[in-house]
Structure 1
Amino acid sequence: MPKKPDDALVPYTGDRLAQARSVATLHDDELKRRASAAARDKNLDDLWAITLAYLTSDSHAGVGASKHTLRAYRKGVEVLVEYAADHAWNLLRPGRREPGLFVAHLSASGLKPATVHSRVASANALYRALRWAGATDADPFADVKRPKDRTKGIVKNPPYKTDFVTAMAEVARADERALILLMAHAGLRIAEALALAWEHVHFERKRLLVAHGKGDKARLVPMSAKLREALHALRVERGLPSRGFVFTFHAYATAYERLRRLARSIDREDEFRGFHAGRKLAGTRLYAQVKDFTRVAGFLGHEQVDTTRRYVELPEDDLADAVENFE
């Protein structure tokens, strides 16, 4: 294994902002030199450190970028760096046709269009970071064509059926039941649910506060009667805490495995598809009540209503009553 240079960007193990500061506060010439060296040597650790510093200090998401988002970005940067190394790609001066070949390689490897889009987004982030560091002016993925997915997301990953959620909740432990209903009734993202604190659960107002949603946006979310009951039961089990995290586990993988095992215990593991399907169920049920995508978008924490449209499953005969009496 080659020896790491003495002036390499050593990964910092503290908080994200401190790590970003250790890179962003370098003198312009020094940051440019290190970024150029990292790109030349295809040093993944240093390239990711620069990308993370850029994402934290100079992107729209900033310090609010979720761990899930950062994991996806890092994986994408890793894939690009490995491809560049295997194909003698000069990262600072990529050939005009090389980005298109990279995207074609991703598609040919069997990745779904959504994953290809994610990898390209990561590559774009890396190049924004390299431009931010002054190492290059290249923007190779600006015009690259990406594969289109003709199948709607609501078809590929539809909402859970209500009876599945009910069956899971009936046999779940108190914390698992609360987690299930936070997604299927309140429409929370898994990161939002795992970060929920007791001081943000307002039983009397029948609301909970998502203090740091996607993009660090806060929102108030109404709680169903069953969700309030589930959270109250969990709070009683915990000794009626008024502060602190609702859940004792905070890792995505832990939550996933807990609910997967729960589905297996009722012989319905094949129906378990992670967390987003529960969120889609909440959006679908709310839309059926209010018939207003704008209100559902606010409920789910979507900035764009078009995103919400992809979360709501409409019945095939949704317009039947509307056209029944056409003359």
Structure 2
Amino acid sequence: MTDALVPFTADALAQARSFSGLTDEALRVRAVTAARDKTFPELWAITLAYLSTDTSGGVRTSPHTLRAYRKGVEVLVNHARDHAWNLLHPGRREPGLYVAALTSSGLKPATVMARVAAASALYRALRWAGATDADPFADVKRPKDRTKGIVKNPPYRPEFVQAMLEHADAQERALVLLMAHAGLRIAEALAVTWADVDLPRRRLLVAHGKGDKARRVPLSALLRDALSAWQAESGARGPAWVFTFQAYSSAYERLRKLALRCGREHEFRGFHAGRKYAGTQLYAATKDFTRVAGFLGHEQVDTTRRYVEVPEDDLDDIVEHFR
């Protein structure tokens, strides 16, 4: 099985409807059979139906989250098959041994936590289907990563962003700046339509942010110029997508090749480092985490603190004049 394939929203909804048409007993039997036989495609289908209909994210759960959940469910099912787990009635110590096995395999703490989150989602789905009352991962201790995320994956450096912009075509330039200046998540950037772009008022509507929350963000002069140039080249208007690609993998490969063209492929670390670049620049100007949180679309300021690189010497001048 590959973890690259995730159903489109419409497919997820159609699949959820196929489950909603079952009686409670039929759904329970189907889930019990899938768990007993450790049938990954069926267990994932049940999990996806649950995630699509009975969670706050619903059918708008991000493709990135679905990929992570799908992979995590697959890993757990394979582990259960290899170690003779009874998925419906797991032993008291088995979940802890599963987490220990993940950790000892060399996975990073964040990846282990993602795998456990997926396992928990599977069990929520099985409880939703009436197949079990088990909640085996509720009290399992999860590894903590003592290294701050801003250290492991810091913002892109200005020199890298500038090099990318110098070698980018019109469409790539707009994408880079939507992350590095507007602070958009990659899913948000790919979902932008021209109707969301208000160049005269220097604003962009993020219609469906994380958790389906909308927000408006200001557009820098460079980003307005980039969007204007790309619109003139593409000829697109109104409800049309800004970008000619909407898949995460297509965007990633496009920017990876851009980094290769400017001789800095080793510096390319995906999309989040560009978002952190925007947050760090804004904090440097405002010194206000609350305003940065609103800009990035964070509910909690504590989340924003993990996106901002604060200079180690930013207190030097203040402390110098202590009395």
TM more than 0.5: yes
Q: Count how many residue pairs are aligned between Structure 1 and Structure 2.
A: 317
Deviation string, structure 1 residues 81-128 (Cα, Å, up to 9, x no partner): 000000000000000000000000001111000000000000000000
Q: State the partner residue of 2:263.
A: 267
Q: State the partner residue of 1:105.
A: 101
2:299 is aligned with 1:303: yes
Q: State the partner residue of 1:117.
A: 113
1:172 to 145, 168, 177: 168
Code of the residue aligned with 1:117 in structure 2: it is: M
Q: State the partner residue of 2:129.
A: 133
In the alignment, structure 1 segments of 5+ residues that lack a partner are 1-10
2:251 is aligned with 1:255: yes
From the superposition, tell whether residues 267 and 28 of structure 1 become closer, same or farther in structure 2 (CA, over 3 Å).
same
Q: Conserved in 2, the CA contact under 8 Å of 1:196 and 1:246?
A: yes
Written as runs of structure 1 = structure 2, the 5 A alignment for 1:36-47 is: 36-47=32-43
Superposition TM-score, scaled by structure 1 size: 0.95
Q: Conserved in 2, the CA contact under 8 Å of 1:99 and 1:141?
A: yes
Code of the residue aligned with 1:245 in structure 2: it is: W
2:77 to 76, 81, 94: 81
Q: State the partner residue of 1:325.
A: 321
RMSD: 1.3
1:287 Cα deviation after fit: 0.5
Q: Conserved in 2, the CA contact under 8 Å of 1:198 and 1:241?
A: yes
Q: State the partner residue of 1:8.
A: none
1:14 Cα deviation after fit: 5.3
From the superposition, tell whether residues 315 and 230 of structure 1 become closer, same or farther in structure 2 (CA, over 3 Å).
same
Distance 1:63 1:240 in 2: 28
Q: State the partner residue of 2:195.
A: 199
Code of the residue aligned with 2:65 in structure 1: it is: T
1:31 Cα deviation after fit: 0.6
Q: State the partner residue of 1:235.
A: 231
Q: State the partner residue of 2:213.
A: 217
Distance 2:9 2:274 in 1: 34
Distance 1:204 1:13 in 2: 33
Code of the residue aligned with 2:12 in structure 1: it is: R
Code of the residue aligned with 2:137 in structure 1: it is: F
In the alignment, structure 2 segments of 5+ residues that lack a partner are 1-6
Superposition TM-score, scaled by structure 2 size: 0.96
Percent of residue pairs identical:
73
1:13 Cα deviation after fit: 10
1:157 to 148, 153, 170: 153
2:184 is aligned with 1:188: yes
